């Protein structure tokens, strides 16, 4: 297994720089129950960051470290090896847990906002306020096409360029 901490830093720096730009407000879900959000998520599709190039079988696993702080382990298969990065996600105060600031390296944090969330926490859409990156996540490696198309429509309505969306391949054993 190899670690991509330098790549994670580049991603976070890019997200932080983009987050400083001026964009119209991006709506998030009204509330997220952290105890229901934690666990493993599979990336179904995304407008990916450059460090995700060549990734398949991408997952993100969340666990609670302390109140308002989550541990995040992102993993994918790259060239037959597991590429993994750990981060901390801090809940933004007064966001009802719908906005997180993810930190791979101190002191840099990037926005990670929960834009759509299934009532049963079976899928989620997360993105950044600049609308440059967005991820569709699910509790299993596959999502029915009708639901995915509805989410693509919602993502486009929020101002993301869905022509840049890439579907994530899940044809390998689980990373990690």
CATH of domain 2-167: 2.40.128.20
Q: Which pLDDT belongs to residue 12?
A: 39
pLDDT at residue 165, as a whole number = 96
pLDDT at 31: 98
Phi-psi category of residue 88: left, alpha or beta, with phi > 0 → left and psi -120 to 50 → alpha: beta
Rounded to whole angstroms, the Cα distance separating 12 from 175 reads: 22
Which residues neighbour 68 within 8 Å (Cβ) at sequence distance 6 or greater?
A: 90, 91
What's residue 73's pLDDT?
Answer: 95
Cβ burial, residue 108 (10 Å; 0-12/13-18/19+): middle
Smallest Cα–Cα separation from 166: which of 27, 40, 49? 49
Predicted pLDDT at 106: 74
pTM value?
0.84
- The whole-angstrom separation of Cα 158 and Cα 161 is 9
From first to last of its 176 residues, the chain has per-residue pLDDT tens of 444 433 443 343 344 444 444 567 899 999 999 999 999 999 999 998 877 888 999 999 999 999 999 999 999 999 888 989 999 999 999 999 999 999 887 778 889 999 999 999 999 999 999 999 999 999 999 999 999 999 999 999 999 999 999 999 998 755 44
Could you give the CA distance from residue 99 to residue 28 in angstroms, rounded to a whole number? 8
d(CA 152, CA 131): 13
Nearest CA-CA partner of 96 in 117, 78, 74: 117
Domain ranges within the chain, ordered by starting residue: 2-167
Q: What is the pLDDT of residue 171?
A: 87
């Amino acid at each position: 297994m190899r670690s991509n901490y330098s790549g994670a830093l580049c991603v976070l720096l890019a997200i932080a720089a983009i987050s400083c730009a001026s964009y119209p407000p991006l709506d998030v879900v009204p509330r997220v129950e952290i105890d229901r959000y934690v666990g493993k998520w599979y990336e179904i599709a995304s407008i990916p960051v450059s460090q995700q190039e060549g990734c398949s079988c991408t997952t993100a696993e969340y666990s609670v470290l302390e109140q308002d702080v989550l541990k995040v382990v992102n993993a994918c298969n790259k060239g037959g090896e597991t590429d993994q990065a750990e981060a901390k996600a801090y809940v933004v105060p007064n966001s009802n847990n719908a906005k997180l600031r993810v930190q791979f390296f101190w002191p840099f944090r990037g926005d990670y906002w929960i834009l759509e969330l299934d009532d049963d926490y079976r899928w989620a859409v997360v993105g950044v306020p600049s609308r440059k990156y967005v991820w569709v996540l699910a509790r299993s490696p596959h999502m029915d096409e009708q639901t995915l198309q509805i989410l693509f429509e919602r993502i486009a309505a929020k101002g993301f360029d869905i022509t840049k969306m890439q579907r994530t391949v899940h044809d390998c054993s689980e990373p990690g």
